[in-house]
Structures are given as structure tokens and as C-alpha cells.
Amino acid sequence: MNILSTIVIVIALYFGFQYFMIFKMKQKKGKAAPELSGSYGKAVKNSKTSLFYFYSPSCGACRSMTPLVEDYTKNNPRCFKVDVSKDMETARAFGIMGTPSTVLVENGLITDFIVGPKPAGDFTRLLEMTRS
């Protein structure tokens, strides 16, 4: 009986943390984007829409979404692919708690904060918003 209750508690904690993480990130919608330096800061200040895709090379879900983002980041100065293992400062500024996470910034405000993988069609629509 102890093993079963331990397993149930571990599973409950896992899913509880997942929902807590999503809840905290969604609270950031409508808030001002953090002050950033370099090309990130310029994009947030000077453009209508910027997209920040936070990923980790060791994340399985990220591996399916990252190739989609790479096509957009090559030719789009308002779409950013941020490796959290190399740029933790930017991830902390946005309050990223897990990968993949996508943040859409419009006119200096966070308008969308997506946690986890998305279907390719939905994700492509978000990426297209940075081209307009």
C-alpha cells in the first residue's frame, strides 16, 4: 500500500507542478515585456510584433518545434530562437519555467505566452504574425 500511495503522490505532484507552471506563465499576458538589451531589446521597442521561442537542446518536445522556428529566424529580425542553456538571462527576464515556451510581444506588451508544444499549423500562424 505504501508503494501505491507514493506513486500516486509523485504523479499528483508532477501534474500539480505542470498546472502551476502554466498558470504562472499565463498571468504574464497583458504585462509589459521585460527590458532587454541588444537585438532583443531593439525588436521589442521598435516593432509591432516579436516572437521569442525558448527551447532546450535536450528537450524532446522542442526537437519537433525548433525546425519550424529556424526557418523564420533566419530571415526575420523579429523572431528569436532562445536556447535557455546558453541564454538563461533572457529566459529569467521573461519568467520562463519550462521548455518549449513561446512568448508573443506586441507593442511592448506580452500578448501570448504558450507553454509546451503546439500543432504545426497553430505555431506557424504565430510565426507569421511577426512578418506583418
How far is Cα of residue 69 from the mean position of the Cα atoms in its chain?
Answer: 12
To the question of pTM greater than 0.85 for the whole model, the response is no
Please state, in angstroms and rounded to a whole number, the distance separating the CA atoms of residues 132 and 16: 38
**Residues of the chain under the 70 pLDDT cut:** 1, 131-132
pLDDT at 7: 92
Please state, in angstroms and rounded to a whole number, the distance separating the CA atoms of residues 26 and 37: 24
